[in-house]
Amino acid sequence: MSMMAYEQHGKQLGKSLTDAIKANPHLVKYLANLRSKGLTQPAYHVQLSRDMRYMENINVLYPVGDPIFIHVYERAKGERIYYQVVEPTVPKEFGELLKDVDKALAILISDEEVGDSDSEKERILLSKLDTLISVDRSLPTWNYKVLKKSGIPVKIKVNDETFSVLRYQLILHKVRLGLIEPFIRDPYIEDISCDGVGPIFVEHKIFGSCETSVTFESEDQLDEFVISLSERTMRPVTYRRPIIDGALPDGSRINIVFGNDISMRGSNFTIRKFADIPISITQLIKWGTIDAITSAYLWLMLENGLSVWFCGETASGKTTLLRAACVFIRPEAKIISIEDTPEIVVPHDNWVREVTKQGEDVESSIELFDLLKASLRQRPNYIIVGEIRGKEAYVAFQAMQVGAPVVTTFHAGSVQKLIQRLTGTPIDIPKSYIDILNCAVIQSAVRLPSTGTLERRVLSVNEIVGYDSVEDRFDFIELFSWDPISDTFVFRGEGSSHLLENKVAVMRGIPRRRVREIYRELETRAVFLKGLAERGVLDYFDVWRAIKVAWRVGTGEALSMVLGGKEIWKS
């Protein structure tokens, strides 16, 4: 298909595709190749919506930042969705050209010119590339001329398109993250998984589990990539230390296993992506992950300094909900966050962010346990622990006992399993201490009966009441629960909350005879949050600004302002 024909096709699909086609010759070739095979042209979307998960035949093309495009489609019914990366590539038969460019750049860039930041590295690399390569428009694409001195390329002539591809590939592999850069750029990717030699798999926020076109063809290629990737985390893997957990420059969490001594299929890695700006609580309400009144309850818990743990299995959305709920902590609070890899984001000004350090030996390493102990000397109003897994739980309970509330995530699919893990080996929290933890939120990824799609839902919110030593049992109240049939949340109602009546109401100076007032406040906050969601206030920091207004003037007054048309989230 000619460029003119594609421009006509672009008019049918929208101006944005026309612009993309004009600027990206590789996209023209890709679409032409699809047509030559008799395949249906994909629908082009600049942004995706969650409704697309219900499409009959998935065939979607979308950009993730020029010059990278993603084509997601069904190869056959019942097969895993395919995720094709569309980007400028160097044909295999021109591998020598890349080697010549690499050889010349290695000489042109001195040790003093390496650069500290990615932007500086990119600037230096492109400036040297401009001196090495000259554009000759008379040359066909991928034809080139090399002038060498003493076997070293000193000038390379290529045409515009070849030069553009070379620039992209060099920045991709020398500055960015190479093969996985498209996944890092894609805002719809949650997890990236390489199981060994073969294709990489991704978990897409809309289309679920996908097999990708990005593959490792040999163990040597994979090992080389994994070593390079680990160096970007500042925790390089070695044969002596083949397993590392770290963070990539964009904040994504990565686990790497190096070599085949402990992995039968060789090196592998898993990346969990987190957006710089957290998903807001109103967005989660819109998605049905949680409802307004349950969110209002968390608001009252966190504003009044109670400890809330977000529990669930792997990939249940615990961290996402924790990050969203942090806006409920009162604005003037001092917060200390403690993590293995930095994922927690809070909007508060008085925030100390601490991260563990992995040293060569035990003495030089700083663990969660060490940071948690140190945080108690810093007089925080709230301690947020990215994830509690082991002995640090004991220090967390000590912190809660002396009045420093703790918010964290914990792997447990129910309150019973939470208590079993806390009181069992190796954590060994005394049973009588369990009620120091005020509230446990249980979340899970569930398949909705109505649509068959996999969604995240808060299954229950539970108040930990205490331990009955005579009966040897734990008492807790399931205050909110999710009904899978109607996909709605059930609140046990007024008079059912131990924490609202005996903790929050007392701290707010509400006497027992007027305890209904705390339930009225709960309802007011629920209406306020629902009002924000219905008005499209979904940005994390907009929600934060609205909640700060409510903190300052009172929730009732803030609600009146919203209902009166005032955009308090812009104040």
Domains of the chain listed by start with CATH number: 92-176 (no CATH), 189-273 (3.30.450.370), 281-495 (3.40.50.300)
Residue 65: pLDDT above 50?
Answer: yes
Under the phi-then-psi rule, with left for phi > 0, alpha for psi from -120 to 50, and beta for the rest, what region is 198?
A: left
Bridge partners (DSSP) listed for residue 99: none
Query: What does the pLDDT read at residue 5?
Result: 44
Bridge partners (DSSP) listed for residue 426: none
Phi and psi of 235, rounded to 5°? -135, 70
Query: What does the pLDDT read at residue 362?
Result: 60
Lowest mean pLDDT: which of 32-41, 63-72, 162-171, 352-361? 352-361
Bridge partners (DSSP) listed for residue 336: 352, 383
Query: What does the pLDDT read at residue 428?
Result: 92
Residues 494-531: tens digit of each pLDDT: 999 999 999 999 999 999 999 999 999 999 999 999 99
Query: What does the pLDDT read at residue 15?
Result: 56
Residue 102: pLDDT above 60?
Answer: yes
Q: Are 315 and 304 in contact (CB under 8 A)?
A: no
For all residues of the chain together, what is the average pLDDT? Answer: 91
Which is nearest to 134 in space by CA: 144, 142, 124, 148? 144
CA 270, CA 203: separation in Å to the nearest integer?
11
Is the backbone peptide bond immediately before 426 cis, with ω within 30 degrees of 0?
Answer: yes
C-beta atoms surrounding 146 within 10 Å: 15
Residue 201: pLDDT above 50?
Answer: yes
The more confidently predicted of residues 385 and 341 is: 385
For the four alpha carbons of 404, 405, 411 and 416, in that order, the dihedral sign comes to: positive
Which is nearest to 381 in space by CA: 407, 415, 411, 413? 407
Residue 535: pLDDT above 70?
Answer: yes
Structure tokens at 179: 């093969």
Residue with tokens 């008799």: 38
Question: Residue 32 to residues 27, 28, 106, 377: CA-CA distances in angstroms?
Answer: 8, 6, 37, 65
DSSP 254: E
Mean pLDDT of 111-130: 85
Q: Are 427 and 390 in contact (CB under 8 A)?
A: yes
Bridge partners (DSSP) listed for residue 474: 467
* For the chain, the helix, strand and coil percentages under 3-state DSSP, each to the nearest 5: 40, 25, 35
* Amino acid found at 106: A
Residue 1: pLDDT above 60?
Answer: no
Residues 206-215: tens digit of each pLDDT: 999 999 999 9
Give percent above pLDDT 90 in the chain.
72
Q: What is the 3-state secondary structure (H, E, C) of 428-482?
A: CCCHHHHHHCCEEEEEEEEECCCCCCEEEEEEEEEEEEEEECCCCEEEEEEEEEE
The secondary structure element, H or E, covering residue 397 is helix 392-401
Query: What does the pLDDT read at residue 365?
Result: 80
Query: What does the pLDDT read at residue 9?
Result: 42
The more confidently predicted of residues 92 and 468 is: 468
Query: What does the pLDDT read at residue 25?
Result: 92
Strand spans (E) along 35-185: 43-44, 59-63, 69-73, 81-86, 133-135, 145-149, 152-158
Phi and psi of 443, rounded to 5°? -130, 155
Q: Are 520 and 508 in contact (CB under 8 A)?
A: no
Query: What does the pLDDT read at residue 360?
Result: 62
The more confidently predicted of residues 250 and 218 is: 218
CA 538, CA 534: separation in Å to the nearest integer?
9
Q: Are strands 152-158 and 133-135 parallel, antiparallel or unpaired?
A: parallel
Residues 393-451: tens digit of each pLDDT: 988 998 999 899 999 999 999 999 999 999 998 899 999 999 999 999 999 999 998 88
